[in-house]
Structure 1
Amino acid sequence: MLDKTLPVNYPAEPIFDITEDWYMDVEGSRPSKLLVDLEAIRLLYNPLPHGLPTVDKDLLILMAAWSGNIDRYIRLRRPKMQGYEIPCVIRGIHNHPLFSKWWSLQPDSVSMHIRQVINARSIMSNDLPWLHETTPDSHLPVLIWYPQCAGEETYEELACRRPSMIPQIARASIHADY
C-alpha cells in the first residue's frame, strides 16, 4: 500500500502558500477545514485598521465582494481572483449599481461572465449607452429582471437595438407585469 502513489484531487492550487506544502501541517488539515479566526470575524463589522492584522483575509474579500463594498474590496483583493470570489463579485454587481459601475471601468481584467452581469445591472438601471452593434453576443446577459426590473421603455429600446434578446425581454416583461 505504501509503495503506490495515489492521485490528490485538489480543485486548484492554493492562492499563496509560503511553505509550499499546500497548507499541510503535522496533522494534515486541509484549508477548507481551518477554523475562522475571531479577529477576522471582528473585522467584518468594524472598519479596517490602517495596519491590517495578520488574519486570513479570504473571508473579508468574499464579504466585501458579496456586499458590493468598493473601498473594502479594492483594499483587500489580490491580483488574481480566488475560486469562491467570482460568485461573490457577481452577486455584488447584481445588487449594487455602483459596484457594477466600478467593475465596468476596470481594464481587460473582466471576464465574460462578469461582463454579462455588468451589462445586466446596466439594463436594470435603465442605462443602455454601452449597447452598440459591435457588442458581442457573448456579453449580452440572460437574467435582466432580478433583483430589479428595468423600465418598460428600456425593454422596448433593448428589443429595437438587439432583437436577439427578445426571449430575455419577454421573461423580464412577464415578471414586471408590463
Structure 2
Amino acid sequence: MGRLSSPRSPSVRGPRWLGLVALAMWALYLCYKARLGIAGEMLWACHIATLGIGFGALLRRYAPVAMGFLFHAGVGVLTNVLDVIANQALPPMTAASHVVPVVVGYLAVRGTVWPRWIPLATLGLCAAVLPVTYLTTDPALNINVAHTPWPPLAPWFSSVWTLWLFNVAVGAVLLFGFDALWRRWPRPARSG
C-alpha cells in the first residue's frame, strides 16, 4: 500500500527489433549531421532520448523507453514544430529523426502507465543536458537552447541561468502535462 506505481513494473511491448529501428535512425541521422559538419547537434535532448528508446527497447528496459517517449511526445514534438515554423524548413531526415522515435516509443509503451517518478527523472535529464551542451558544443549551434534564448524570447533573459530556469520550467509543464494526458489515455481491457 502507499506505492505510487503498480506492484508490477510495466514491461516493454513489442519485439526487440523496434530498438534496432530507433538506433538505426539515430545512426543515419548522425551520418547525415557529420556530412554537414555539425555532428555536435546529436547532443540535442531529442537525440539522447532516441538512444534511450532504442537501447531500452532492445535490452527490454522500460524506464529508458518511457523517459525517451515522454520527452519526445511531451517536449520534442512541440519544440520541433516551433523550430519548423521559425525556420520555414523541415529536411526529410530531420522529420524522420523525430517521427521514428515517437512511433517506436509509443509501440514499446502502449497500454502501460509508467511509474510516477518517470516524469521527474526525465525532467532531471533535461536539466542535466543544459550545462553539458553549454560546455561541450559550439555556441553557434545553440544545442538545447543552452547558449542563447530563442530569438523571439531574447529580450526577457538577462543571463544564461535565467534561460536555463525558463527551459526547465517549460519542460516541467510540458512533461507533467503530457504525463497527465497519458494517464487518462484509454487502455484496452485486460482479459484473464
Q: TM-score range by the shorter chain?
A: under 0.3
Q: Which has the higher helix share?
A: 2
Larger Rg: 1
| Relative contact order, higher structure (CA 8 A, sep 6+) | 2
Q: Normalized against structure 2, the TM-score is what?
A: 0.24
